[in-house]
Structure formats: C-alpha cells, structure tokens
C-alpha cells in the first residue's frame, strides 16, 4: 500500500530568531521539536497546525532560500483553510501580522483574507463557502 504524500513547507526565517510565538498565538500551532544553535537561536523548528506540518529554518549561507524579509518580497503564499476566516485573521493581526487583504467573499466560492507574518511570509486564510 502506498502512503499518502504529505506537503510540509519550509519557511526561511532570518538568523538570530528566538521567538516564534506568533505561530502559536495566530494559528494555534504546536511546536513539535526544535533544533537550536549554540547561542540559543532557532536553527529549525517543526510545527503543526491541526496536523499539518511546516518547518521554520534559519537562513544559511549554503542555501539559495532566503527569508522574505531580506528582499521585502515573497514567491509563495501559504494557504491555510480554517472554519472561521474572520477569527483567524483577527488572531493573526493581534499576534503581530499585518493584513494585506481584508476578509471578503469571492464569486469563485471562497472566503479569504491575507496576512503577512512578522518574518514576511504571506498567509492566505481561507474557507470554501
């Protein structure tokens, strides 16, 4: 029997980060494990939002991946499906996100709002309606 593929994005964060509580406060994430550098900063953190895994990884000199904060731009938006889009966008804003696009209903059948987290990652909070 073949196992089901799992999608687990790796989000690059700047060097020197110690506080990732934004993800816990904004999205109810749970940190499953962490690998720290000698100075106590985060090298890798594995988190889960209702069973969906994602990783935070510090920017390294050996990788071509960079934190969106470096260029004030991003090439990806993370879609997060939730039951209450308004509530999660409000939680994210209260936790330190900036609202890029307020929550609204679209004629293609989705309720969506977009936020930018403190590290520059774009999150599309959404629900099929």
Per-residue pLDDT of the chain (129 residues; tens, 9 = 90+): 667 778 899 999 999 999 999 999 999 999 999 999 999 999 999 999 999 999 999 998 888 888 898 888 888 999 999 999 999 999 999 999 999 999 999 999 999 999 999 999 999 999 999
The pTM of the full predicted model, rounded to 2 decimals, is: 0.90
Nearest CA to 53 among 5, 86, 1, 105? 5
One-character DSSP codes across 19-54: --HHHHHHH--EEEEEEE-TTS-EEEEEEEETTEEE
99, 89 contact by CB (below 8 A): yes
C-alpha torsion angle, residues 114, 118, 120, 126 (rounded to 10): -20
5 located within any domain:
no
What CATH number is attached to the domain comprising 14?
Answer: 3.10.180.10
Q: What is the pLDDT of residue 7?
A: 86
For the chain, the straight-line distance linking the first and the last C-alpha, in angstroms and rounded, comes to 34
Instruction: Establish if 1 belongs to a structural domain.
Output: no
Number of domains in the chain: 1
Nearest to 45 by CA among 69, 11, 77: 11
Residue 89 lies in a domain: yes
Task: Please tell me the distance from the alpha carbon of residue 107 to that of residue 14, in angstroms, as a whole number.
Answer: 37
């Amino acid at each position: 029997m073949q196992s089901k593929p799992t999608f687990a994005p790796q989000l690059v964060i700047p060097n020197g980060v110690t506080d990732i509580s934004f993800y816990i406060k904004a999205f109810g994430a749970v940190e499953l494990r962490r690998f720290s550098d000698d100075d106590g900063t985060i090298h890798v953190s594995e988190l889960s939002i209702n069973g969906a895994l994602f990783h935070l990884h510090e920017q390294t000199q050996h990788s071509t991946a960079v934190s969106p904060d470096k260029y004030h731009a991003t090439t990806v938006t993370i879609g997060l499906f939730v039951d209450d889009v308004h509530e999660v966008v409000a939680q994210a804003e209260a936790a330190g996100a900036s609202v890029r696009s307020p929550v609204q209903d679209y004629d293609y059948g989705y309720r969506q709002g977009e936020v930018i987290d403190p590290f520059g990652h774009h999150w599309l909070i959404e629900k099929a309606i």
